[in-house]
Amino acid sequence: MAHDDVGSQATAGSAGALRQSEERFRLLVESVVDYAIFILDPTGIITTWNIGAERLKGYSESEIVGRHYSTFYTEEDRRQGLPDRLLETAREDGHVQISGWRVRKDGTRFWADVVITALRSDGGELAGFAKVTRDMTEPHRARQAQKEALEQQRQLTARLEALDRWRRDFMSAITHDLIVPVIAIAGFADHLLDEVEDAEQREVLERIVSNSEALRAMIDQLSVHARLESGEVSIHREPVRLDLFVSDLLADLRPLLSEHPVRTTVPPLELLADRRGLERILRNLLGNAARHTPPSTPISVEAHLEDQAVTITVADEGQGIPEALRDRLFERSSHGASAGSGLGLSIVKEYVELHGGVVEVETDIDRGTTFRVSLPAGPVA
């Protein structure tokens, strides 16, 4: 008999401890305010309600207990049978997790992260479902805003790329269309110069030829820049005797440099370079010096070999470059560009970099400007 009393007391104690544990759990669930936590019966009817659920969804316990949990779903989700499908999935898999729009009592929507877990008895029979819901509206909107911003950026990038392609095609077409009439104008003027003896008429024709050549140089700059920008320009290195190369170039530029004494200190160095590219570099630097310095101002060209690089300097003694323009000197349309196109120095920089070299500038107001180009003397990997 004594043993029976002890067993009864132990059973009663276990049952009391279980009830205390369940009560503590119930109090814990009911006091959670950041999550809606409630129980559904096997058909989806709400049987419990916590403070978090009332705060999130707007229903008091007396208003919602006994109603189907599909009350919180949008009309579209209900028509598509989403609430029943979720319970079926939780019944088969043990739980289901989903995110989507849900509806409060006042009709406003919120973005919910939801977990539905099947509850089973010790015998495995379905006793109902536990449903936990968290309001994730602000993080969801932030993610959506980020996605929309990225999509807008993608569309803008695509439009800019299309516009850039159109601009390059336009530049290519316009330079091709312009060069033909310019060459024709210069040719007709040259022809007339051979036949006209009147001094005044000859002066007009000479100005036509001179301006035609200037316009032709601008068009050439545009064409070169368009090809550089589109990646169509490649360089072909070959041995170049720098002293002979500079001498020939200065002879070609004699009309442009006629008002400036030119001093050269170029030893018989040999470097591997693209002849056309090297000509573009020096022609632009020399033309830049001639156009932006007063008549009779000297221009110097020097070169030397140092650390497997050939350094070429083109210096003038003009007014120098204003400080406000120095940071963007090699950009398109900068003040220092030659031929009036705003492209000369940007072309210099691009050709120098194609050679694997660097270009630098030193300038002082009223003391002049020196451009220094360093090119590898040998092959570039």
Which pLDDT score is estimated for 71?
A: 96
Residue that wins the pLDDT comparison between 41 and 228: 41
Fold of 32-135: Beta-Lactamase (3.30.450)
Q: What share of the chain is helix, strand, coil (3-state, %, to 5)?
A: 50, 20, 25
Per-residue pLDDT, 199: 86
Mean pLDDT value of segment 332-336: 47
Q: Assign domain 238-376 to its CATH architecture.
A: 2-Layer Sandwich (3.30)
The C-alpha angle with vertex 210 and arms to 206 and 216, in degrees rounded to 5, equals 145
Identify the CA nearest to 268 among candidates 303, 219, 314.
303
Dist CA 377 CA 111 (whole Å):
66
Domain boundaries, the chain: 32-135, 142-229, 238-376
Q: pLDDT above 90 covers what percent of the chain?
A: 48
* Average pLDDT value over all residues in the chain: 84
Output the pLDDT for position 19.
Answer: 58
Tokens at 2, concatenated = 């004594």
Q: What is the pLDDT of residue 23?
A: 55
Tell me if residue 43 falls in helix, strand or coil: coil
Mean pLDDT of 334-349: 60
Q: Which pLDDT score, from 0 to 100, does residue 320 have?
A: 85
pLDDT of 3:
52
Indicate the range of 27-41, 165-179, 334-348, 358-372 predicted with least confidence.
334-348
Q: What is the pTM of this model?
A: 0.50
> Higher-confidence residue: 175 or 316?
316
Q: Which CATH architecture has domain 142-229?
A: Orthogonal Bundle (1.10)
Cβ contacts of 70 within 8 Å, gap of 6 or more = 44, 78, 83, 84
**Residues pairing with 119 in the sheet:** 128
Domains 32-135 and 142-229 alike in fold? no
At 364 the pLDDT is 86
pLDDT digits (tens, 9 = 90+) for 61-102: 999 999 999 999 999 999 999 999 999 999 999 999 999 999
Please give the average per-residue pLDDT across 255-267, as a whole number. Answer: 91
pLDDT single digits (tens) 3-53: 555 455 545 555 455 455 445 545 555 556 689 999 999 999 999 999 999
pLDDT in tens, 183-192: 788 788 888 8
| Residue-level pLDDT at 380 | 46
* Average of per-residue pLDDT across 308-321: 90
What integer pLDDT is reported at residue 327 of this predicted model?
72
Residue 176 has pLDDT above 80, yes or no: no
pLDDT in the model for residue 325: 77
Q: What is the mean pLDDT of residues 244-268?
A: 91
- Report whether pLDDT(158) > 80: yes
